[in-house]
Amino acid sequence: MLKTAQAHIGQILRAWDGAQTRDLLRRPGDFGLGQVPAAHAPDATTTSVCGFCSTGCGLKVHLKEGVAVNLSPETNYPVNLGMACPKGWEALNVLKADDRATHPLLRTAAGEMKRVDWHTAMTTFTDRFKAVQAQHGPESVAFISTGQIVTEEMCFLGALAKFGMGMLHGDGNTRQCMATAVAAYKESFGFDAPPYTYADFEESDVLVFIGGNPCLAHPIMWERVWRNPHQPDIIVLDPRRTETAAAATQHLALKPKSDLTLLYAVANLLLEMNAIDRDFIEKHTTAFDDFARHVQPYTPERAAAESGLSIKQIQAMAKTIAQGKRVSFWWTMGVNQNHEGTRIAQAIINLALMTGNIGRPGTGANSITGQCNAMGSRLFSNTTSLLGGHAFNNPQHRSKVAQALGMAPSCIPDQGSLAYDQILDGIDTGRIRGLWFVATNPAHSWIHQRQFRERLKKLDFAVVQDMYHSADTAQLADLVLPAAGWGEKEGTFINSERRIGRVKKVSRAPGEALADFHIFQLVAHYWGLSEQFKAFSSPAATFELMKDISAGQPCDITGIEGYDQLDACGGVQWPWSAADAQATSATGSTDTPGPDTERRLFADGRFHHPDGRARFVFDHPAPNPEPADDDYPVTLLTGRGTASQWHTQTRTGKSAVLRKLYPQGPYVEINPHDAAQWGIAAGTAVRVTSRRGSLVAAATLTHAVQPGQIFVPMHDVQTNQLTFPSFDPHSRQPSYKACAVHVARV
Ligand SMILES: Nc1nc2c(c(=O)[nH]1)N[C@H]1C(S)=C(S)[C@@H](COP(=O)(O)OP(=O)(O)OC[C@H]3O[C@@H](n4cnc5c(=O)[nH]c(N)nc54)[C@H](O)[C@@H]3O)O[C@H]1N2
Ligand SMILES: Nc1nc2c(c(=O)[nH]1)N[C@H]1C(S)=C(S)[C@@H](COP(=O)(O)OP(=O)(O)OC[C@H]3O[C@@H](n4cnc5c(=O)[nH]c(N)nc54)[C@H](O)[C@@H]3O)O[C@H]1N2
Ligand code: SF4
Ligand SMILES: [Mo]
């Protein structure tokens, strides 16, 4: 019976791409097995880009009989130059785990998860979601996607769901992560365009890190900082004395959520010192005079009072920026995950614009993104924007995208999606009845877990597509679809510096697990959409579609020849248009930029607004939605714990090596003065309670956190029992970083 079902699935996939699928089926019972591309000699090495963080390190994969046996960092890749962090080194080992999802699982009437074949899984998927749509409208089913699958898969999923299956709403875990940077760039620059290249880490004489801990969250970017030969000043704005802050020349341990006031005060001081680039401002920006007026009341005195810093510290920061010739500003989650994150990000952008620190080596207002393919998701997931950074509400954009995909423009919705939190609110109101989660684990990672889990129970049907059946969200699903992971499939990622890098299939997926790409092909078939989506025949064919869609956009990649060129160049940074490529081949001179030339944006001072200018955007600070008070007197900070742990630990928890590199149980960092006051000794169990829930963890006493604050890493499933669901109004990104709690000995 099982064999017949597999053969049936094989036939369906074969209809898309004969050769590929014959390979897929070569071993009965080993469905979805990795077929190493014929181009690789069976016992040679090949390269791939790491599938954890957005640094996008190149890895050299060592093969035996065409299958990966080991890996090492690639020495020739322009990103990491032969370095990798522990997660990268262990990337293959996390694939081998007892809890890999090997077969579809369906919840029975009795509530148990039961193994089913793909045919049953796909008919159930289709019947159930279609029934929900028939009763409550097509928009009552939505998807939640990710920054962790290849771009081709994101593009396929977004197109399939919204242009084929009738969905209007779909968002990604990137909402938890990058939405703020996206909103800020779009408004300030006219397009979501992080301007930098990693060489900028080495070329600055001043680097300012705001709300980021790259030493452990982006260790190889941090290595690039250490290669900087200019003895740079490193300014770190973080309430905690992190590993990054400890290495800074100036650490400003500001109070959580006081960034906006502080950054406006710095702008005010720069104006006072006349340390601004009038020429750049006049030629390339708008609304500077309004901004200059806006920051006037933000005196160093006021910023000192609100941030807990000294006036001297604030003046020193401004002076260092004023004196810097090449100043780069880098921000991460301490900014993005904030109730006013978009305006803080724009306050950072404003500092770069007013001092002319953009478009030149070693400069920039630079958001560091999080997941391996968050940048791919920002452009090609069809969630917050129409494919290729287009707008759903623009008829020309809809026609262009439809034409590139060979579909009718009427397939494309003329409005954007609800944001993640609004989709979840929709469960309460009955507007959303079915959800499809792909490569994300919100039953651990989403804010305010009690509410999230209550909502999940209200759904008529929930599908989780994951590599591990034990993932927290998979355990709550009605249907689990077993997915191949990094290393078991083909495609591309886009890293933080806009570099498109290639990911290869070098390992067999276990059991009947399939690449997400193949799962989407099956969904298309069972939904009755094979004809409409026939162009999505393989990841490589989808890459060609993405290229066509990108034509004429700031992220134009029409000049990339294909996967082989990505390999040959060590990845290619967008934009790389057909015109760029033509210019290179026309001159043939080595002075003309090539696809492998490092590129930063805005070297010509032209931004993406119709007038070609960047905008100063600003606002007055809004109060912290849940400040500490008498009942909950402590501020809880959350974030990354170690370089060896990844998010919800479904992957990094499976490597024996990585497990040795981080603390074994949940812990909470407490300042020793507070601990003494609360009668807490190192190592004792403490209960941390917020208005929403509580957790128990071992006390770690450290001066890295300030009195009145504690830190709990996000990697423990309990952490989001505590967090307070507030959202930046412009980006709808959750403010994970601060809420009010109290702490007591158990
Ligand atoms: N090892 C490892 N690396 C990772 C990840 C991982 O899970 N593990 N995840 C990846 C992903 S998806 C992301 S998004 C990145 C995140 O990378 P980062 O943003 O660098 O990491 P976080 O620890 O979440 O947050 C950074 C810092 O923000 C500070 N902070 C909190 N509140 C405030 C505030 O109000 N103001 C300021 N200025 N700072 C504040 C925190 O103290 C923390 O040190 O890491 C990526 N890299
Ligand atoms: N309190 C607190 N919470 C936070 C944060 C914080 O700082 N504090 N940070 C937030 C941020 S920035 C982020 S990015 C999120 C991350 O939150 P999540 O996205 O929920 O975290 P992951 O553990 O990366 O989940 C990815 C899931 O996809 C699965 N997976 C991996 N590869 C594949 C694949 O190729 N295909 C399929 N189908 N599945 C795959 C993994 O097994 C895992 O279950 O967490 C957010 N939550
Ligand atoms: S720094 Fe990021 S991309 Fe590089 S090896 Fe580590 S996890 Fe992978
Ligand atoms: Mo993230």
As for how many domains the chain has, the answer is 3
Same domain, yes or no: 291 and 350: yes
In a domain, 17, yes or no: no
Q: Given the CA of residue 372, which atom of ligand 3 is nearest to it?
A: 3
Same domain, yes or no: 285 and 419: no
The pLDDT value recorded for residue 584 is 87
371 CA to centre of ligand 2 in angstroms: 8
Q: Which ligand is nearest to the CA of 87?
A: 3
Strands 667-670 and 709-713: antiparallel
H helices of 365-507, where?
374-380, 395-405, 420-429, 442-445, 449-458
Same domain, yes or no: 361 and 218: yes
In a domain, 577, yes or no: no
Strands 58-64 and 572-573: unpaired
In a domain, 253, yes or no: yes
Any idea what DSSP says for residue 357?
-
The pLDDT value recorded for residue 26 is 41
The pLDDT value recorded for residue 22 is 40
Instruction: For residues 484-505, give the mean pLDDT.
Output: 97
Strands 170-172 and 572-573: unpaired
The pLDDT value recorded for residue 602 is 98
> Given a cut of 80, is residue 19 above it in pLDDT?
no
Same domain, yes or no: 403 and 550: yes
pTM attached to this predicted model: 0.97
Q: What is the pLDDT of residues 343-376, one digit of tens each?
A: 999 999 999 999 999 999 999 999 999 999 999 9
Smallest CA-to-CA distance from 153 within 536, 601, 669 is with 536
Q: What CATH number did the domain enclosing 210 receive?
A: 3.40.228.10
Best residue among 47, 53, 225 to mutate for probing ligand 3's pocket (most ligand atoms within 8 Å of CB) is 53
Same domain, yes or no: 206 and 325: yes
Give the pLDDT band (50/70/90) at residue 34.
very low
639 CA to centre of ligand 4 in angstroms: 10
685 CA to centre of ligand 2 in angstroms: 27
Q: Collapse the DSSP code of 233 into the 3-class scheme (helix H, G, I; strand E, B; otherwise coil) and give the result.
A: strand
**Domain end residue (candidates: 565, 595, 614):** 565
Smallest CA-to-CA distance from 461 within 128, 122, 109 is with 128
Is 370 close to ligand 1, i.e. is its CB under 6 Å away? yes
In a domain, 349, yes or no: yes
Nearest CA to ligand 1 atom 47: 217
Query: Residue 605 region, left (φ>0) first, then alpha (ψ -120 to 50), else beta?
Result: left
Beta-bridged to residue 480, according to DSSP, are: 105, 464
Q: Which ligand is nearest to the CA of 471?
A: 2
Distance, CA of 567 to CA of 48 (rounded, Å): 9
Same domain, yes or no: 224 and 251: yes
Strand arrangement, sheet containing 58-64? 45-49, 58-64, 67-73
Q: Which ligand is nearest to the CA of 734?
A: 2
Same domain, yes or no: 205 and 129: no
The pLDDT value recorded for residue 7 is 76
174 CA to centre of ligand 4 in angstroms: 6
Same domain, yes or no: 385 and 353: no
Distance, CA of 670 to CA of 631 (rounded, Å): 18
Nearest CA to ligand 3 atom 5: 88
Best residue among 87, 493, 499, 640 to mutate for probing ligand 3's pocket (most ligand atoms within 8 Å of CB) is 87
691 CA to centre of ligand 1 in angstroms: 24
Nearest CA to ligand 3 atom 6: 85
Share of the chain above pLDDT 70, in %: 95
In a domain, 580, yes or no: no
H helices of 355-498, where?
374-380, 395-405, 420-429, 442-445, 449-458
Secondary structure of 597-617 as H, E, C letters: CCCCCCCCCCCCCCCCCEECC
Q: What is the pLDDT of residues 57-95, one digit of tens each?
A: 999 999 988 889 999 999 999 999 999 999 999 999 999
Same domain, yes or no: 172 and 239: no
Same domain, yes or no: 286 and 208: yes
Q: What is the pLDDT of residues 651-690, one digit of tens each?
A: 999 999 999 999 999 999 999 999 999 999 999 999 999 9
The pLDDT value recorded for residue 44 is 87
The pLDDT value recorded for residue 1 is 54
**Domain end residue (candidates: 523, 545, 565):** 565
Q: What is the pLDDT of residues 146-167, one digit of tens each?
A: 999 999 999 999 999 999 999 9
In a domain, 138, yes or no: yes
444 CA to centre of ligand 2 in angstroms: 8
When the pLDDT of each residue in the chain is averaged and rounded to a whole number, the result is 94
**Greatest alpha-carbon span in the chain:** 79
Same domain, yes or no: 399 and 415: yes
Same domain, yes or no: 320 and 212: yes
What's the domain range around 660? 634-745
Q: At what angle do helices 151-159 and 516-527 cross, to 10 degrees?
A: 20
Instruction: For residues 557-568, give the mean pLDDT.
Output: 96
**Domain end residue (candidates: 549, 565, 581):** 565
568 CA to centre of ligand 1 in angstroms: 33
In a domain, 33, yes or no: no
220 CA to centre of ligand 3 in angstroms: 7
Distance, CA of 302 to CA of 326 (rounded, Å): 28
Q: Which ligand is nearest to the CA of 154?
A: 2
Which residues approach ligand 3 with their CB closer than 6 A?
Answer: 50, 52-53, 55-57, 80, 84-85, 87-88, 219-220
Q: What CATH number did the domain enclosing 454 receive?
A: 3.40.50.740
Q: At what angle do helices 259-272 and 288-295 cross, to 10 degrees?
A: 110
Q: What CATH number did the domain enclosing 708 receive?
A: 2.40.40.20
